[in-house]
Amino acid sequence: MNSGNHRRMIKKMLFFSDQEGIMNRYLREKENWDPHLQNTKEFIINSFQNPATKTIAILGSGWLLDVPLEKLAERFEKILLVDIHHPPQIRKKVEQYSNVEVQEIDITGGGIKFVWKLGTVGEKKIDASYLLSFKPSEPQLSFEPDAFISLNILNQLDILLLDYLKEKTSCFTDDDYQHFRKSIQQFHLKWISGKPGCLISDVEEENIDKHGTSTKQRLIHTELPKHFRSKQWIWNFDLSGKYHRHLQTKMQVQAIEW
């Protein structure tokens, strides 16, 4: 796919607007987000004590809100920032680091194109079993890193893909979606847990209405890798009632290092 088509696909599947949405929500909720961002940065800084780990890929780097880039650039010989799109401001910012590279690639191992293709064939031609045939392949990174950081992305990988599918077709069942979601998360963890790594992810979403009634939803549909270090905290994700109308949304966040 040429880069014009790629951009069109990413735009239509709302990756650009989602990324803008992250920055807008951050600006609105800065006070509530800062403790979460600080916890994430601290967890990362305290990871990778083994000096043999010299290079690293950061998956889902986005706006670098949760990346202690300065410290990591001192610690590692080479850093690869990986995202489906790097905002121009971030490309500019990282120019000052001679050991930081950026790469735009789909880290689901092909999920974006797989879903896009379904959206282009027309609903009548879609077979309900198609979704089960997704076979992710390992993303080809610009260099082979010694370690990975999976950065607030594990539960995000399927969201825009499923939104797009749901808009294009009604032929899949909740079970089909659940299977697809699970296979994306399992693939991500299988890929990155073959090397040293750390992962920070929302694991549960809590929504609280104006009467204080709370509902909770699990966001991770597979086992996290075995780890030797972990930390948990609550992220006051949206207290203004904009993410879900009139609801306050809090995330339970889990950080692990293996």
Ligand X SMILES: C[S@@+](CC[C@H](N)C(=O)[O-])C[C@H]1O[C@@H](n2cnc3c(N)ncnc32)[C@H](O)[C@@H]1O
- Tell me which residues touch ligand X (CB under 6 A): 15, 19, 22, 60-66, 83-85, 106-108, 112, 151-153, 156-157
Q: How far apart are CB 235 and ligand X at their closest, in Å?
A: 11
- The rounded distance, in Å, linking the Cα atoms of 9 and 156 is 18
Centroid of chain to Cα 44: 16
What is the closest distance, in whole angstroms, from the C-beta atom of residue 118 to ligand X in the complex? 16
Relative to beta strand 147-151, strand 197-208 is: parallel
Minimum Å gap between C-beta 41 and ligand X is 11
80 bridge partner residues: 57, 101
Comparison of 53 and 152: residue with beta carbon closer to ligand X: 152
Question: Given the complex with ligand X, which of 21 and 194 has the nearer CB atom?
Answer: 21
Residue nearest to ligand X (CB): 62
Chain centroid to CA 194: 19
Nearer to ligand X among residue 29 and residue 83 (C-beta): 83
Nearer to ligand X, 112 or 253 (CB): 112
Residue 81 CB, shortest distance to ligand X, in Å, is 9
CB contact set of 98 (below 8 Å; sequence gap of 6+) = none
Q: How far is it, in rounded angstroms, from Cα 167 to Cα 188?
A: 25
Tell me how far apart the alpha carbons of residues 62 and 83 are, in angstroms, rounded to a whole number.
Answer: 6
Rounded to a whole number of angstroms, the minimum distance from the CB of residue 148 to ligand X is 13
Closer residue to ligand X (CB): 35 or 122: 35
DSSP 122: -
